[in-house]
Structures are given as C-alpha cells and as structure tokens.
Amino acid sequence: MKKVEAFIRHEAFEPIRTELLGLGFPSLTISEVKGSGRQKGITERYRGAELTNYLRPKVKLECVVASRDVQTVVDTILKHARTGSIGDGKVFVMPVEEAYRIRTGESGEETLQAHPDPAAAPAA
C-alpha cells in the first residue's frame, strides 16, 4: 500500500477527481493549503503600503492505493496537473503500513476499494 500525496493547482483537481472516479478510485481527501516553491509571491497593496505574500494557495490531494495502482494514480495526476508553468506542484509517494475500514474493522488492501454495490455487501 502506498499513499500518494500531491500538491496541485485548484483548477487541476476537478479533472483528476473525475478520471480517478472513472478508474475506480473514489476514495481521496483534499485540503486547501498554502505553500511556497519557485512560484512567485503576490504583492498586496493596501492604502499605499505593500505586503508580499509568499505562500500561494494549493490543493493537497491524498489518496492511499494498492502498490500496483500507484503508477495509474500518479499518471492521472501528472496528466491533468501539468500546465508546463512554474507552480504546477509536486507529487510524493510514501509507504503505508496498514489500513482499517472503521465501519467493519476489516484491514488490508481490500479496505481501499469501494464496494461496487453497497447493497450487495454482506451485512455486518
């Protein structure tokens, strides 16, 4: 199991989510974060005084998948998040030791998948 953590532009999220959903990866988490990299800051001017804001808003996308699926997910992110300009963001992949589904107590890779049809799932 691996965790894919990507820092992307806001507008890249929607196409990535749509494609991941289509590929069968509905589970992910995002946070709105601020960070700095090579992308330049924004200067705010307020009544004659200036204030440079170095931290730019980004979306942090986190997604834990089976190791064999990592490349698929990363490729999807790269495909949609890349504009070719500075500020497109970064993707990190890191190992995950264990995963539990809280509702059922199951553990392991199967907890990463959505039940294809929740109604067909065995009653807990």
Partner 1 sequence: MRRSWLARGVMLTLLAMLVIPGAALADTLEAANNGVLQESVAINSIWVVLAAILVIFMQAGFAFLEIGFSRGKNVGTVIAKVLTNLSIAALMYWSIGFAFAFGNGEIIGTDGFFLRDYGDPQEAFAVMGLSDATVEAKWLFQFAFCAVSLAIVWGTTLERIKFGVYIIYAVVFAGFIYPIASHWVFGGGWLQSNIGMQDFAGSTAVHLIGATGALAVLLQLGARKGKYGSDGRPRAIPGHNMPLFGLGVFILLIGWFGFNAGSTLGALDGRFTEVAMVTMLAAGAGVLTSIVTAAYKTKSIDIGMAGNGMIGALVAITAPSGYVEAWTAPIIGGIAGIIVPLSIYAIDKKLDDPVGALSAHGVAGIWGTLACGLFTHPRLAQYNGFGDPEGGLFYSGSFAQLGYQALGIVVVFAFVFVLSYGTFWAIRKTYGLRVSEDEEEAGLDIVEHGMYGYPEQFIPAPELIGYANAPGSRDIPTGAKSASSTREVPA
Residues that bind partner 1 (CB under 8 A): 10-11, 34, 36, 38-46, 50-55, 57, 85-87
Smaller CB separation from partner 1, 41 or 108: 41
Min dist CB 16 to partner 1, Å, is 14
CA angle 37, 41, 44 (to 5 degrees): 160
Min dist CB 87 to partner 1, Å, is 6
Structure tokens, 36 = 């700095």
Alpha helices in the chain (DSSP H): 10-23, 70-81
Distance CA 82, CA 88 (A): 6
Smaller CB separation from partner 1, 45 or 68: 45
CA distance from start to end of the chain: 25
Smaller CB separation from partner 1, 86 or 102: 86
Min dist CB 60 to partner 1, Å, is 15
